[in-house]
Chain A
Amino acid sequence: MGSNMAEAHPVGFQWVVEAKRRGAKIFHIDPRFTRTSALAHEYVPLRAGSDIAFLGGVVNYILSNDLAFRDYVVPYTNASFLIDDNYLDTEDLDGLFSGYDAETASYDPASWRYEGAPAMPEAGDRPPAEAKQHATGDQHGSGGAKLEGVSMNPPADPTLEHPRSVYQILKRHFARYTPEMVEDVCGTPKEQFLEVCKAWTANSGRERTAAVVYAVGWTQHTVGVQYIRTAAIIQLLLGNMGRPGGGIMAMRGHASIQGSTDIPTLFNLLPGYLPMPSPHEGRILEDYVSSVRGDKQKGFWRNADTYIVSLLKEYWGDAATPDNQFCFDYLPRITGDHGTYRTAMDMVDGNVFGYFLLGQNPGVGSAHGRLQRLGMANLDWMVVRDLAMIESATFWKDSPEIETGEIVPEECRTEVFFFPAASHVEKEGTFTQTQRMLQWREKAVEPKGDQRSDLWFFYHLGRRLKERLAASTRDRDRPLVDLWWDYDVHGDEPSADHVLRRISGQDIATGRQLSGYMELKADGSTLSGCWIYSGVYADGVNQANRKKPHDEQDDYALEWGWVWPYNRRILYNRASADPAGKPWSERKKCVWWDEEKGEWTGLDVPDFEKTKPPTYVPPDDAVGVEALRGDDPFIMQADGKGWLFVPSGLVDGPLPAHYEAHESPVRNPIYGQQGNPTRKVYARFDNPSNPSPPEPHTEVFPFIFTTSRLTEHHTAGGMSRWLPYLSELQPEMFVEVSPELAREQGLEHLGWATIVTSRAAIEARVMVTDRMKPLRLRERTVHQVWLPYHWGSVGLVTGDPANDLFGVSLDPNVLIQESKVATCDVQPGRRPRGKQLLEFVEGYRRRAGITVETGSHITTVGPRADNAHIENAHDGATDGEGRQ
């Protein structure tokens, strides 16, 4: 669901085919029939953007038919915990939760807490409205959010009958997600929906498990995080977490995207999901640590001090001492939203000087391509490192804005420096895939000409900057001057192996490679570049380079590559055994307690303290790891439990609720609140929104469109549109439409169509196919069209970029754009050229009555329903001199 795995991840899909061969039943739930659907037993259609309604329907099916795996749910999840009596649900507030502030379009989560827990935030924590700017949601990538006062379990009702228990709240919250409602919201026939429910519940429990696979079809929404949360609720209720064959699998967008969040390329994260400090924590390391974890909480995040200190020691070596807070002050502080989209707008506004672009083609691949290109055209300098001269390197001479006169090559001020990059076969290093597995690759061939690895680029950039600043006495240069930059270099190529050793971690005094993060210390005696990766070089061996064939080991293949943390293949696998430590069933055994030896053992590496018995009950004053009970499997969570209800850490509500997409032709059938009440909308003249109900003129953009990939191309095309053998397989931009829509709009197979939004109009060849189906929602028919997004203005094959159609509206938890659903018009024929194109789109805006405020009326219930929340739209835009 939300994944076209056969097309976007064909190599991973071999295991789905293998599972099918062994008797697994495969469902594909998607807006369109794809190559994945072709291989599934059952294809289940749904309207793009309605997944929470569908999944919420599954939750309701489980709860109203009493199908939860109770023996698992009561001890392992927070189902029995009681919630504060100030908590109000969407049931009470017509689509809002308690704590909502229409002024800032954000929540104060105080009333979502467990009964008796102290109110958060406390001093040193960030105010709720700011959480949205920092995308605090994805700062919890390797464990739950901070909670205070839960080192002892909060008040609970193990019978699950208490009206304020999480279980009962869940039951009430999802009661209206009936099969009939699912049919009305999603357009999925009721019988098909029930078939999914029956198969999912029948294949869960002691003897069986079921897995969910998703990809960016779930993440790229203004409610993306809550899509995944809904799946998490189902999998916890059915006992499918921490068990073989269970789980929720995120198919990543690119090789090592998992790695690029673990060791992040994100503005708000440090390695290992440590949040980037903000000015609120001041200059004191201890204050930062207490903003990351609670003092009275359980689990391994309680040891966050050892993780950050070891990281600082890796960065600054001997310069980092207890006396100078281990150079904590050297870390930058984030003062607001510096996400990629906000930065693009700041570029347009003239607030950004320079830009590094590495392996990314935002002129084609990011939402609102025109905004991206106009931003890039307004810099002093830009560095592009890529395999080919992609659109984002040549926008100043051949972007669509040249034709419209918006960019004039002679006047474009941006100086572009292009660095040819070495490809993955031309350099050594690791990939981290979706299972958190690091796999080492050798260099197969030498890079040609000036092509160099990214490691080479950054190493030498750092070296040169350090050389330039060597004599500096300015405080602001200390972080660079003191930076420990002594990686081994062979020829002029830095050693990736040495970098991996430093990531894995060492005992500084002896130089011994550490076995894992439990060895890290907060006193500055250890270093580790990323605490969750600690142990990848255990015993002085590159564990990621282990390649023992699968036929020489068992199904877990523990000697192939290395999986963080501690080579544990299934996270939270303590949950694969019952509270007493015995496997739930022989068929689904994974790890278990060996009474004789007094330790956890099994097929996988146990994700639990090895010698802590299942019966262990901590003393009352225990905190952190010691406070984890013998039956608390979720060891990174502040309370050791799987969270059905999220008392802290999410910006947009403790439970998922169906909200319509930012642009939808449909009024929310479930609540008065139309869209995510905390979504980020940047209301600017250059980022217009198509109107959605209850706004008028939605008929101007009557159709829903969604985008995705083809097997034959790779994302924004940088790795495929320059290769003839791939380009010939999908040579042209096209749009898939149903025969019904083709007839309605006069579209001809292989003819041209123009697709229009309030941002852009693009053209594409028409593909009429039965794979696209109109959906019936109550009395109305909704048409969806689909576009691949691989093409741009250069390469062997060219075409209009589909992402130009999207505007920028973001999920508030993680600042991911909604680029999997929006509204559009589709007309036969090619688009206008030159200035006429701008007039054409302007005509649509006029007819739809679009102003800067359209789409910014976020709150659609309550007394402030007409309040337009405008997201810091003009920060810095007024002051041309005041650059950041």
Chain B
Amino acid sequence: MKKTTAITRNSLSGPLDDVAADAGHLEHPPRVGFFTDTSVCIGCKACEVACKEWNLVPETGFDLLGMSFDNTGELGANSWRHVAFIEQQAPSRAPEQAKATVDLPMPSFDLPGAGSGAESRTDFRWLMSSDVCKHCTHAGCLDVCPTGALFRTEFGTVVVQQDICNGCGYCVSGCPYGVIERREGDGRAHKCTLCYDRLKGGSQPACAQACPTQSIQFGPLDELRQRAAARVDELHAGGVTEARLYGEDPNDGVGGDGAFFLLLDEPEVYGLPPDPVVPTRDLPRMWGFAGAAAGAMLTAVVAVFAGSRRP
């Protein structure tokens, strides 16, 4: 248990050492989260199934989406884990690893793969990545919730209490990642709880437990960040220079994520926003503007009346 002196003022953006304390947990365990290493994800979707089994999340219908092997589509009220599949051209490697030079064909207007045979293809790769709620340091959903249904747990995670949620949906627009959603027919907001009940029982979340290749790693966030940095170094040394972390930086727009990722391409490729910003970051500035505007209005009004006294 970590003891901290009570912080009197809740911060709205930027790095924050102790999110649980910030939320008023005076004694609490270390902040935990996920490090999802997509370089070893095999796209088995065991995380999706384990999550639904444990949390009794309803199925989402039997729709073939045609998006590679992804028939889940996106995170939502009924999909708290979502494995994205991206079929794409592989990046060219450093010169010493490059294949022997080949003659480039004449420029053409064909689509990729539209040549007559395999010789027209370039190197190919298939990226897979299991997405989840980021459990932000500054969680937009939580900050805008008017009922207190969303709260920060002692583990530093963000959880919705459905018995309090009134279905207003502010959280949906408050989330910079588009994670939280209201369930159809139920109206209330649902999302990943980082298996709050399992954490309380001393277990790890169902998805991390089910992951066969340790692509989803659970643990104290500090430790995960160290592990992730080492993994990036290892991949870079092995020539996978495109490996990068996403969401681990406490200086980003949400103060860093509780669930962060190792990606092999730009975040947009995986359907992740490149520069997520918690709406509350701009709150002081907005209040500033609003204050200035109100002041100006007041001045104008005063001026009008003052002026009217003039004969």
Write the nearest CB–CB distance from A12 to chain B, whole angstroms.
9
Contact A781 B64 (CB under 8 A): no
Contact of A750 (CB < 8 Å), options: B59, B64, B100 = B64
Contact A33 B66 (CB under 8 A): no
- Cα distance, A566 to B279, chains bound together (Å): 65
Query: Is A608 in the interface zone, CB < 8 Å from B?
Result: no
Question: Inside 8 A of A749's CB, which chain B residues have their CB?
Answer: 66
Contact A775 B118 (CB under 8 A): yes
- Cα distance, A740 to B49, chains bound together (Å): 35
- Cα distance, A711 to B128, chains bound together (Å): 14
Chain B interface main SS type: loop
Question: Inside 8 A of A6's CB, which chain B residues have their CB?
Answer: 42-44
Which chain B residue has the least Cβ–Cβ distance from A769? B87
Query: Is B182 in the interface zone, CB < 8 Å from A?
Result: no
Question: Inside 8 A of A769's CB, which chain B residues have their CB?
Answer: 68, 87
Query: Is A867 in the interface zone, CB < 8 Å from B?
Result: no
Contact B128 A13 (CB under 8 A): no
Contact A740 B42 (CB under 8 A): no
Contact B113 A740 (CB under 8 A): yes
Question: Inside 8 A of B100's CB, which chain A residues have their CB?
Answer: 191
Query: Is A261 in the interface zone, CB < 8 Å from B?
Result: no
Would A771 and B53 be within 8 Å (CB), given that A711-B43, A727-B62 are in contact? no
- Cα distance, A711 to B125, chains bound together (Å): 19
Query: Is A64 in the interface zone, CB < 8 Å from B?
Result: no
Query: Is B289 in the interface zone, CB < 8 Å from A?
Result: no
Contact B62 A731 (CB under 8 A): yes
Interface size, chain B (Cβ < 8 Å)? 42
Query: CB-CB contacts of B109-138 with A at 8 A, as 1s and 0s?
Result: 001111111110100111110000000000
Write the nearest CB–CB distance from A186 to chain B, whole angstroms.
12
Contact A771 B42 (CB under 8 A): no
Contact A38 B68 (CB under 8 A): no
Query: Is A465 in the interface zone, CB < 8 Å from B?
Result: no
Query: Is A525 in the interface zone, CB < 8 Å from B?
Result: no
Query: CB-CB contacts of B191-230 with A at 8 A, as 1s and 0s?
Result: 0000000000000000000001110000000000000000
Query: Is B48 in the interface zone, CB < 8 Å from A?
Result: yes
Would A739 and B114 be within 8 Å (CB), given that A39-B40, A725-B52, A725-B53 are in contact? yes
Contact A724 B118 (CB under 8 A): no
Write the nearest CB–CB distance from A774 to chain B, whole angstroms.
5
Interface range on chain A: under 10, 10 to 19, 20 to 34, or 35 or more?
Answer: 35 or more
Q: Which of A12-32 touch B at CB < 8 Å?
A: 13-14, 17, 20-21
Contact of B213 (CB < 8 Å), options: A13, A33, A36, A711 = A13
Contact A776 B119 (CB under 8 A): yes
Query: Is A37 in the interface zone, CB < 8 Å from B?
Result: yes
Query: Is A738 in the interface zone, CB < 8 Å from B?
Result: yes
Which chain B residue has the least Cβ–Cβ distance from A750? B66
Query: Is B4 in the interface zone, CB < 8 Å from A?
Result: no
Which chain B residue has the least Cβ–Cβ distance from A774? B117
Contact B119 A35 (CB under 8 A): no
Query: Is B173 in the interface zone, CB < 8 Å from A?
Result: no
Query: CB-CB contacts of B33-73 with A at 8 A, as 1s and 0s?
Result: 00000001011111011001100000111111010110110
Write the nearest CB–CB distance from A725 to chain B, whole angstroms.
5
Q: Which of A764-790 touch B at CB < 8 Å?
A: 765, 767, 769-771, 773-776, 781
Contact of A13 (CB < 8 Å), options: B42, B99, B116, B125 = B42
Q: Which of A726-747 touch B at CB < 8 Å?
A: 726-732, 734, 738-740, 743
Contact of B71 (CB < 8 Å), options: A21, A37, A191, A730 = A730
Query: Is A380 in the interface zone, CB < 8 Å from B?
Result: no
- Cα distance, A180 to B62, chains bound together (Å): 47
Contact of B212 (CB < 8 Å), options: A10, A729, A738 = A10
Contact A11 B126 (CB under 8 A): no
- Cα distance, A17 to B211, chains bound together (Å): 12
Write the nearest CB–CB distance from B207 to chain A, whole angstroms.
13
Contact of A38 (CB < 8 Å), options: B61, B62, B113, B125 = B125
Q: Which of A424-480 touch B at CB < 8 Å?
A: none
Point out residues on A near B: beta carbons under 8 Å: 6-7, 10-11, 13-14, 17, 20-21, 33, 35-39, 43, 45, 187, 189, 191, 710-712, 724-732, 734, 738-740, 743, 749-750, 765, 767, 769-771, 773-776, 781, 796-797
Q: What are some 21 contacts across the A-B interface (CB < 8 A)?
A: A6-B42, A13-B42, A13-B212, A17-B40, A38-B42, A43-B124, A191-B100, A727-B59, A728-B61, A728-B71, A729-B48, A729-B49, A739-B111, A740-B115, A750-B66, A765-B66, A770-B113, A774-B118, A775-B117, A775-B118, A776-B119
Q: A10-B212, A33-B126 provided; 12 other pairs, C-beta below 8 A? A: A17-B42, A38-B42, A38-B43, A711-B44, A711-B45, A728-B62, A738-B113, A739-B114, A740-B115, A740-B117, A765-B66, A771-B87
Closest 9 interchain pairs by CB?
Answer: A731-B62, A38-B126, A724-B59, A732-B64, A6-B42, A750-B66, A10-B44, A739-B113, A17-B213
